[in-house]
Amino acid sequence: MMFILGRLVVLSFGRLEKPLPPPPLWGGAYRPNVPRKTIVAPSGAEGGAFPSGGEGGAGRGAFPKRLNDQSPKRLNDQSPKRLTCVLAGVLSWLTLATTAQQHFPKTIPPGNYSGICHLQGDRYAVVSDKADGDGFFVFRLSIDGAAQRITQAENLGYRSSGMPNRDMEGICYRPSSNTVFISGEADNEIYEYTLDGKRTGRRLAMPECYKKARRNLGLESLTYDTLTARFFTTTESPLRGDSLLRIQAFDDDLQPAQQYLYRPDAPLSRKYRHGVVELCALGDGRLLVMERQVRVPKMKLDATTVIRIYEVVPAQQTMLQKRLLTEFKTRLTLTSRKFANYEGMCAAPAPPSRTIDPTSRKTIEAPSGAVGGASPLSSTPLLLLVADSQNHYKGVLRDWFLVMVER
């Protein structure tokens, strides 16, 4: 979703902040006597886990109105609970490390980039919610997995459907049909497209309840899980009359399947606009949820975004239990303009892994694993985030990209 900056009075700049290193997780809540503080990250959006509550970020209550130095109370019961993903009998835990933000003004055009998905090789499909018409860009993004950086970025052009813009927010790729699906916030519909941008005439069968989506707070995210062959989407904010988000699953026949409930965090204060801006299936049964909180003062100086990425595992239980993986903050100040309104997130191909053969003692390099998956030599999955610069608003905002790695 776009937020309006209005007139920029001061040509200001920004810095990134990160929380202190996280304490061990106790079911998503803090251990007692661990203070809440933030420190300035010396370089890039380097964030760590910043637990803020179990189910819904603050147990059954609301998230504290502001961050402070007081030790919060335990928000769940006395026995520690940890969310696990059981895949082939193996417990899988995910934490995320971030690298520095990057932008490519010479090769990537200014945009309102709100969603991204991996296609094949080094090609990605990207939607811009204020593009001239309905469709998507194709970018070539070469990622150095070892350095966790994009080494080359190129715009391969816009693939238009010839239809009007409908506030395109989310995009996903389905390998079996070699097509992409795009969610629109203006019409709350999800259509299928060929890779040249034309509509196929098919769309996901959206349940009637999504007609109750609030204006400009509708379908914001979209992802496809190659393991379960299911689509997942949700709105940025709960539907009218709801207090929880509905994450809707769709089977491969495009018909609605199970609907899950998700409790988003409460705003940090009344000055923050907040919501769920992206979902990302990792291809192994796990689903990542990106929550964003944005504060834009009247004079724009000290504008702030707070990004939190949670892990959930859609299964039989309707109420999803979320576990915080990482949090980072970007700001606009007089010394830097790294303020980033992140809206898109996707799994990127895992970089090659290296291991030592126990017999020959030679280094073996494994081929890149499937998106979000792992080869026999266990490549490291990556996440790729893209920010909405509002077409380089006033020459200050930038189309930031951020590579994150699983640890």
- Full domain range(s) for residue 200: 16-406
**Per-residue pLDDT, 48:** 39
DSSP 3-state of 398: coil
As for how many domains the chain has, the answer is 1
109 is a domain residue: yes
Cβ atoms of 82 and 321 closer than 8 Å: no
**Per-residue pLDDT, 146:** 80
**Per-residue pLDDT, 352:** 59
Pairing of strands 342-348, 354-356: unpaired
**Splitting the chain (407 residues) into consecutive groups of 10 residues, what average pLDDT does each group show?**
40 39 30 30 36 33 29 30 31 59 97 97 97 97 90 98 96 98 96 98 97 91 97 96 96 98 96 96 95 93 95 94 96 91 93 50 44 38 93 93 87
State the Cα–Cα distance between residues 377 and 239, nearest whole angstrom.
44
130 is a domain residue: yes
CA-based nearest residue to 344, from 33, 111, 147, 21: 111
294 is a domain residue: yes
**Per-residue pLDDT, 299:** 86
User: Residues near 266 by Cβ (< 8 Å), separated by ≥ 6?
Assistant: 57, 58, 62, 63, 274
**Per-residue pLDDT, 218:** 94
**Per-residue pLDDT, 7:** 36
CATH code for the domain of 330:
2.115.10
106 is a domain residue: yes
136-156 core/surface letters (b: 16 or more CB in 10 A; e: else): bbbbebebebeebebeebeee
27 is a domain residue: yes
CA angle, 87 then 171 then 177, to 5°: 75
DSSP 3-state of 170: strand
8 is a domain residue: no
11 is a domain residue: no
Cα 295 to chain centroid distance, Å, stands at 18
1 is a domain residue: no
